[in-house]
Amino acid sequence: MEAVEIANTAINGTPPDLFGYLDYLVFTAILLISGAIGLFYWCLGEQSTKDFLMGGRKMGRFPVAVSLLAAFCSPVALLGIPAEIYSNGTLYALTVPSYILVAIVTAYFYQPVFYNLQLTSVNEYLELRFSKPVRIFASAIFSVQMVTYMATVVYVPAWALSEVTGIYFYFCVAAIFSIVVVYTVMGGIKSVVWTNVVQMGVVFAVMIAIVVKGFIDFDGGFGKIWNIAEENGRVEYFNFGLDPRTRHSIWGLWIGAFFMWLSIFGVNQVQVQRYLTLPNIGMAKCAILANSLGFVVILAVTCLAGLLINSKYSECDPIESKRVKTTDQLLPIFIIDTFGEKPGFLGLFVAAIFSGALSIVSSGLHSLATTTLEDYVKYFHPIIHDQTATKAVKISVLVYGLLSLGLVIVADQSGGISHLSLNILGIIGGPLLGVFTLGMFFPWCNSIGASFGMLASLGIMSWLGIGTSLATSRGQLVKSSLDVSVEECTYGYFTVPHETIRISESGGILEFYKISYLWYSLMGTVIAIVVGLLISFLSGKQDPSKLERNLISPPVDKFVKNYISSNIRARIGWDLGSHVEDHANYERNTTYGKLVVYKGTKELQQVQAS
């Protein structure tokens, strides 16, 4: 079928069966490779819990660095960034500096704390620093965050692909969860990381092929593509506006995005668990910094894809012409029009989108299973046999997979969850980043302050996120009142008649719901820190001298000791660990790498248990 015929068929609302035998072969082969990696590690024999969760802490820098990148290369990003460039312009590309800064801050300020303590669950830190209830609360909201996000990562691309290509929606969903659960249960963290490597290789190859083919087909080169973008108002070099309701501004992309990415790469279990699989802290830092380079490459490629889409459809918008329903379908329809006559490529593209989903879901399921064992199972059964622990982890993978699958089905039936899910990382990421920052940067914060700070932040951000979701689903979030005319345009054999769209006004409390998603994590972090410190000082602040030095970020402690006068240090009570005996006073569990026995003074036991 010719590309133009494909376009016409898709327009009429009955997506054709675009997959040929070669497409199915390519698509199936990519999925089978992921399953084969899990089978390979399963055939090596039963793994200990330490190996299943942490890879024996002997993973290599390259696979870990690539696996870290998988957090960015979700289908939401692969479909969303080109759509963002097409719809709102090139300003989003300026988020690069914030991401690079996040890699540096993560590598030197947050990651050393987790690595020096040799934790398995990041929430263990919150028990050591504050109390067990803080740990359990943080673990619970992380579980909600990841289950919801995984459902979104599957729902959005599966729906977009089914609408455009005709692939059955529930086939997409069932295939993703089935394959992920199988290879995660069989191979553990090693399987997850190495399948991430293969999947990211597919994503990179396909996205680069899209851009290269797009430039080859487009007469005039990059200069003409850029000129068309400028003519269509898609090029925006700088926007220093201070209005937080502006979707993207320099401040939002440099400051707001910094906290958004930091909540993901700095303290999120999915990412931190990968750092901790490496043999030493130097390799962990190297992997984190290398990951930032991969981010720059994939961001550049997806932004170029957005410019190519703009050039191809500059005279007939697929949204206005009703070829597609949402911007998430722009890249798939571009692939159909560009590669429709190339046997096998459409299957490769769908495999790339599936690969992005597989990467996110496998990482999420494995991390959730880890926190379930460490934060819940061992809470009720502190002493558990290794084989029993491994079985508990595998059962958890299956349970969380079914929960996410159920949420996808609910989303498909109700249609009301997608807007909230897209903001879930910011809604919950901010409170979590806030409580970890309180612990690592502010030695005066106590467990009461941490609890109230996290609770206040979560409450306010949930109100904002849920309100925004409801207002968006009702069509209330618009900027102004105006008439938008859709002129006649022709694509293939299809002509769209002239029509007028009326956009209504909004105001009042709805203006708060217009706050850009980029500011969510910053807002949540600031609320948690301010409330946490205030409550801590009102309820009796933590004495830093009774706090183990390893619980505070090393660069922060070093800066205060080297650059703050002794008089000021005495006034603020910065005398970390002076009443806590050396590390030789407690032992670490050799199997799970966490503190279990305290041999020091009674004071040390109280400090560590509180």
Average pLDDT, the chain: 80
Q: Residue 374: is its pLDDT beyond 70? A: yes
Q: Say if residues 55 and 277 touch (Cβ distance below 8 Å).
A: yes
Local confidence band at 157 (pLDDT 50, 70, 90 cut-offs) = confident
Q: In this structure, is the dihedral angle defined by the CA atoms of residues 359, 298, 145 and 526, taken in order, positive or negative?
A: positive
**pLDDT per residue over 290-324, tens digit each?**
888 888 888 999 999 999 988 888 878 887 877 77
Give pLDDT, residue 584. Answer: 40
What is the spatial distance between Cα 352 and Cα 355, in angstroms, rounded to a whole number?
A: 5
Question: Which phi and psi (to 5°) does residue 91 adopt?
Answer: -60, -30
428-462 burial by CB neighbour count: b if 16+ within 10 A, else e?
bbbbbbbbbbbbbbbbbbbbbbbbbbbbbbbebbb
What is the spatial distance between Cα 458 and Cα 451, in angstroms, rounded to a whole number?
A: 11
Q: Residue 112: is its pLDDT beyond 90? A: yes
Structural tokens at position 539:
């309820």
Helix 169-217 and helix 132-165, axial crossing angle in degrees, nearest 10: 70
User: 31-35, 112-116, 496-500: which range is least confident on average?
Assistant: 496-500
What is the spatial distance between Cα 582 and Cα 63, in angstroms, rounded to a whole number?
A: 36
Q: Residue 2: is its pLDDT beyond 50? A: no
Residue with tokens 């190495």: 194
Beta bridge partners of 491: 494
Q: Residue 581: is its pLDDT beyond 70? A: no
Identify which of 260, 255, 152, 238 has the alpha carbon closest to the alpha carbon of residue 517. 260
Indicate the residue type of 469: S
R_g of the chain computed on alpha carbons: 25
Of residues 524 and 166, the one with the higher pLDDT is 524
Q: Residue 481: is its pLDDT beyond 60? A: no
Which residues have C-beta within 8 Å of that of residue 459, sequence separation ≥ 6? none
What is the spatial distance between Cα 546 and Cα 167, in angstroms, rounded to a whole number?
A: 60
Residue with tokens 């491994």: 390
Q: Other CB atoms closer than 10 Å to residue 293's CB: what's the count?
A: 12
What is the spatial distance between Cα 477 and Cα 80, in angstroms, rounded to a whole number?
A: 19
DSSP 109: I
Structural tokens at position 405:
């699958």
Residue with tokens 């919950």: 428
Identify which of 579, 458, 362 has the alpha carbon closest to the alpha carbon of residue 134. 458
What is the spatial distance between Cα 449 and Cα 536, in angstroms, rounded to a whole number?
A: 4
Mapped onto helix, strand or coil, the DSSP state of residue 390 is: helix
Assign 3-class secondary structure to 206-256.
HHHHHHHHHHHHCCCHHHHHHHHHHHCCCCCCCCCCCCCCCCCCHHHHHHH
Mapped onto helix, strand or coil, the DSSP state of residue 550 is: helix
Question: Which phi and psi (to 5°) does residue 581 adopt?
Answer: -70, 170
Assign 3-class secondary structure to 353-385.
HHHHHHHHHHHHHHHHHHHHHHHHHHHHCCCCC
Local confidence band at 423 (pLDDT 50, 70, 90 cut-offs) = confident
Predicted TM-score (pTM) of this structure: 0.84
Q: Say if residues 548 and 608 touch (Cβ distance below 8 Å).
A: yes
Mean pLDDT across the stretch 376-390?
A: 86
What is the spatial distance between Cα 336 and Cα 210, in angstroms, rounded to a whole number?
A: 11
Mean pLDDT across the stretch 3-25?
A: 54
351-381 burial by CB neighbour count: b if 16+ within 10 A, else e?
bbbbbbbbbbbbbbbbbbbbbbbbbbbbeee
Mean pLDDT across the stretch 571-591?
A: 57
Give pLDDT, residue 579. Answer: 62
Local confidence band at 381 (pLDDT 50, 70, 90 cut-offs) = confident
Q: Say if residues 595 and 586 touch (Cβ distance below 8 Å).
A: yes
**pLDDT per residue over 279-293, tens digit each?**
888 888 898 888 888
Question: Which phi and psi (to 5°) does residue 484 adopt?
Answer: -115, 120
Alpha helix positions (H), 73-168: 75-88, 96-105, 111-117, 123-129, 132-165
Which residues have C-beta within 8 Å of that of residue 454, sequence separation ≥ 6? 134, 137, 138, 141, 431, 432, 434, 435, 528, 532
Mean pLDDT across the stretch 389-398?
A: 90
Give kind and range of the element (H or E) at residue 471: helix 447-473
Residue 7 CA to its chain's centroid (Å): 33
Structural tokens at position 350:
């769908």
Q: Residue 16: is its pLDDT beyond 70? A: no
Mean pLDDT across the stretch 571-582?
A: 70
Give pLDDT, residue 165. Answer: 66
What is the spatial distance between Cα 96 and Cα 94, in angstroms, rounded to a whole number?
A: 5
